[in-house]
């Protein structure tokens, strides 16, 4: 296990941070896969994940309570593709695990605009170089890489249009 991961404590509690597909909490995976299925459809998502569409549908709807470890790993890998910074637990009132939202959700929706805002934040910080920590450049580069990875992972399609299936023909 990587040194940047926290092990899930005994008792089944979810880790506060992980980059391991096997350690992303099951409830987080279920919510994530449901969101992805709404956007892309079960068949296209199942093809991308590498599982059967009925297997995926049963997991999302809760009919499958505990997926096979290999299925869970595949879904966790998909989660980490979309969330390149890894799973970070967000504190919730109800105690249910939820992933911290992507960086790009805090910024304007278009890539160029989001990059401009990020650059502007650091440009403003650079106006006071005597107060700027030495790590600012590294933090800026890291945030830029995360933002780029999030936009690269986000497959956008025109409204109402689904991605093509494996044969290149759109699902109907």
Residues 89, 25 within the same domain: yes
Mean pLDDT, rounded, for 105-111: 94
The answer to whether residue 67 is domain-embedded is yes
pLDDT above 70 covers a percentage of the chain that reads 82
Residues 93, 22 within the same domain: yes
Residues 93, 123 within the same domain: no
Residues 79, 146 within the same domain: no
The answer to whether residue 35 is domain-embedded is yes
What pLDDT score was predicted for residue 167? Answer: 46
What pLDDT score was predicted for residue 153? Answer: 83
Domain count for the chain, please give it.
2
The answer to whether residue 118 is domain-embedded is yes
Residues 92, 21 within the same domain: yes
Using 50, 70 and 90 to split pLDDT, how confident is the model at 171?
A: very low
Long-range pairs of 138-145 with CB within 8 A, sequence gap ≥ 24: 143/103, 143/118, 144/115, 144/118
Using 50, 70 and 90 to split pLDDT, how confident is the model at 87?
A: very high
- Answer yes or no: is pLDDT of 157 > 70: no
Residues 95, 109 within the same domain: no
Last residue of a domain, one of 101, 130, 162: 101
Residues 95, 21 within the same domain: yes
Residues 94, 110 within the same domain: no
Query: What is the pTM assigned to this prediction?
Result: 0.75
Residues 87, 37 within the same domain: yes
- Answer yes or no: is pLDDT of 165 > 70: no
Using 50, 70 and 90 to split pLDDT, how confident is the model at 152?
A: confident
Torsion of CA 99, 101, 103, 109, to 10 degrees: 150
Domain that holds residue 131: 104-153
The answer to whether residue 6 is domain-embedded is no
- Answer yes or no: is pLDDT of 68 > 80: yes
Residues 41, 29 within the same domain: yes
Residues 91, 117 within the same domain: no
- Answer yes or no: is pLDDT of 135 > 50: yes
């Amino acid at each position: 296990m990587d040194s940047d991961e926290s092990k899930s404590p005994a008792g089944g509690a979810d880790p506060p941070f992980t980059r391991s597909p096997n350690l992303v909490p099951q409830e987080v995976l279920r919510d994530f896969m449901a969101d992805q299925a709404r956007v892309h459809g079960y068949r296209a998502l199942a093809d991308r994940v590498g599982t059967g569409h009925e297997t995926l549908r049963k997991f999302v709807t809760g009919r499958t309570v505990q997926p096979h470890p290999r299925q869970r790993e595949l879904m966790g890998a998909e989660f980490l593709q979309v969330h390149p910074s890894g799973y970070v637990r967000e504190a919730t009132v109800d105690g249910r695990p939820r992933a911290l939202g992507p960086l790009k959700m805090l910024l304007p929706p278009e890539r160029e605009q989001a990059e401009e805002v990020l650059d502007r934040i650091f440009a403003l910080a650079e106006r006071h170089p005597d107060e700027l920590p030495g790590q600012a450049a590294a933090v800026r580069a890291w945030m830029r890489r995360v933002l780029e990875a999030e936009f690269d992972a986000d497959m956008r399609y025109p409204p109402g249009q689904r991605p093509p299936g494996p044969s290149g023909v759109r699902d109907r």
